[in-house]
Amino acid sequence: MARFLCYRILATLPLLLFLSIGIFSMLHLAPGDPVTTMLSEDLATPQVEQTLRHQLGLDRPLYVQYWLWLDRALHGDLGYSFRSKAPVASEVVSRLPVTIELTLTAMMVSIVTAVPLGTLAALRRNTGLDAVISGIGTLGLAMPAFWLGILLILLFAVRLHWLPPSGYVPPWQGIGANVRLLILPGVTLAASYTAVLLRVSRMSVLDVIRADYVRTARAKGLREPRLVLRHVVRSALIPLITVVALETGRLLGGAVVTETIFGLPGIGRLAVDSVLNRDFPILQAVTLFMALALITANFLADVLYAWADPRIRYG
């Protein structure tokens, strides 16, 4: 296992390098000029634009800009924001807890909801209950996050006044307010994620309950709850773990929309602001963080395979 982990970590380094090259190139080749975005019409003279572009290093060839950025990044310096002049690392770190809390909330809601419902639908396949649960999954998969978020705000915040419509309070400043403010964005972000996990868990359980060893255990008189929990659900975890890891990108992408709708000061909201302001250093760091989070999720999935199925061994 240790040899496998070292190999995976080393294999991640060139992947991150190629990702940084691609992200850096696409961001700088995209339409829009950060210099003209930063300057007002009164100050946007050719001389001022040239001076500011030189100060930001945007007048150098693209490969030179990337090499300088990579050299600083390897020394822990991600540069400074074009807009706020603050260090990029501090901007990202200050927003990181909000996004982590939101995504973990959505992930827990999805797993706690999807796995039992998917298992129940598989055990009651071709019944009315199965049709209702599958319909809920299809509805959640087809519903856009921005539309669902607006509907939840209109219902629970505007009409019923049960929950606040937007904002964020750190847990150390008030756990009750923190939970109340995370319910609506957490449900919004978890909707499509839950739908995917529900469908996968249903199909995975259906495959397992048809296996010979399950029929044998049932014929020997093993009680159904124990059979489902110890044998069926655990054996069905392999494809579910894979989907949870792969769908991490869906969560991070959905966090961009969800944080914007509910006014959460997280990484997603920071990405939107950096796109509008053409703040390349911030956007580069945020995109690389999301890519690293997806790589880490897939790495953890490989580790969890051995826990879910003892037959899997890494050498």
Query: Is 55 a domain residue?
Result: yes
| 135 plus 260 within the same structural domain | yes
What's residue 23's pLDDT?
Answer: 82
| 239 plus 290 within the same structural domain | yes
Radius of gyration for the chain, computed over Cα atoms and rounded to the nearest angstrom: 24
**Does 149 score more than 80 pLDDT?**
yes
Last residue of a domain, one of 16, 39, 74: 74
d(CA 223, CA 227): 6
| 66 plus 142 within the same structural domain | no
Query: Is 88 a domain residue?
Result: no
| 230 plus 285 within the same structural domain | yes
Q: Is-contact 234 224, C-beta < 8 A?
A: no
| 123 plus 258 within the same structural domain | yes
**Which of 256, 233, 289 has its CA nearest to residue 111?**
233
Q: What are phi and psi of 44, to 5 degrees?
A: -80, 65
**Domain encompassing residue 262:** 96-308
pLDDT digits over 66-93, tens only? 888 888 888 888 888 877 888 888 888 8
CATH assignment at residue 283: 1.10.3720.10
What's residue 185's pLDDT?
Answer: 92
| 39 plus 110 within the same structural domain | no
d(CA 35, CA 27): 14
**Does 233 score more than 80 pLDDT?**
no
Query: Is 230 a domain residue?
Result: yes
Classify each residue of 45-67 as buried b or exposed e, where b means 16 or more C-beta atoms within 10 Å of its C-beta. Answer: eeeebeebbeebebeeeeeebbe
**Which of 242, 272, 270, 268 has its CA nearest to residue 253?**
268
What's residue 153's pLDDT?
Answer: 92
Token reading at 54: 């030189």
* 221 or 64, which is more confident: 64
| 52 plus 147 within the same structural domain | no
pLDDT digits over 159-215, tens only? 988 989 888 888 888 898 889 999 999 999 988 888 888 888 888 888 887 777 777
**Does 227 score more than 80 pLDDT?**
no
**Lowest pLDDT segment from 11-15, 127-131, 173-177:** 11-15
Element (H, E) at 24: helix 2-29
Query: Is 193 a domain residue?
Result: yes
Query: Is 252 a domain residue?
Result: yes
Query: Is 238 a domain residue?
Result: yes
Q: Is-contact 141 254, C-beta < 8 A?
A: no
Helix 145-152 vs helix 248-262: angle between axes, to the nearest 10 degrees?
40
| 48 plus 103 within the same structural domain | no
Token reading at 3: 């040899």
What's residue 151's pLDDT?
Answer: 92
Burial of 76 (0-12, 13-18, 19+ CB in 10 A): exposed
Query: Is 236 a domain residue?
Result: yes
Query: Is 82 a domain residue?
Result: no
CA distances from residue 161 to 147, 156, 175, 189 in whole angstroms, order as listed: 19, 6, 19, 21
| 132 plus 12 within the same structural domain | no
Q: Is-contact 187 152, C-beta < 8 A?
A: yes
- Report residue 290's pLDDT band, with 50, 70 and 90 as the boundaries: confident
| 292 plus 151 within the same structural domain | yes
d(CA 165, CA 167): 7
* 147 or 33, which is more confident: 147
Handedness of CA 140, 144, 146, 148 (dihedral sign): negative
d(CA 203, CA 226): 20
* 295 or 2, which is more confident: 295
What's residue 184's pLDDT?
Answer: 92
Q: What is the mean pLDDT of the chain?
A: 82
User: What is the residue type of 30?
Assistant: A
Domains held by the chain: number:
2
| 67 plus 160 within the same structural domain | no
What's residue 53's pLDDT?
Answer: 74
| 65 plus 174 within the same structural domain | no
**Does 1 score more than 70 pLDDT?**
no
